[in-house]
């Protein structure tokens, strides 16, 4: 099966012999990884889960220790 590299669009054979699949090379794989790490790529969804933890990140004592 042949597909396009998600980064450079070069045609790539999808097979166990390609250690970088679905990418054509280690370079394209690392560029994609960097995009996710820099949050250039995101998965769409509700930010509700982030709101549940925002109090902890702001320093609010949402879950105080016993005796406080």
Which parts are annotated binding residues for Zn(2+)?
5, 8, 24, 28
Q: Which residues are annotated as a binding site?
A: 5, 8, 24, 28
- Contact, 38 vs 27, CB < 8 A? no
C-alpha span between 11 and 51 (Å, rounded)? 41
Strands in 1-68 per DSSP E: 2-4, 11-13
């Amino acid at each position: 099966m042949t597909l396009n590299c998600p980064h450079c669009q070069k045609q790539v054979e999808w097979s166990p012999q390609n250690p970088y699949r679905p990418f054509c090379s280690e370079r394209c794989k690392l560029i994609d990884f960097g995009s996710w790490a820099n949050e250039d790529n995101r998965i769409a969804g509700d930010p509700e889960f982030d709101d549940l933890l925002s109090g902890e990140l702001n320093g609010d004592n949402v879950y105080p220790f016993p005796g406080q």
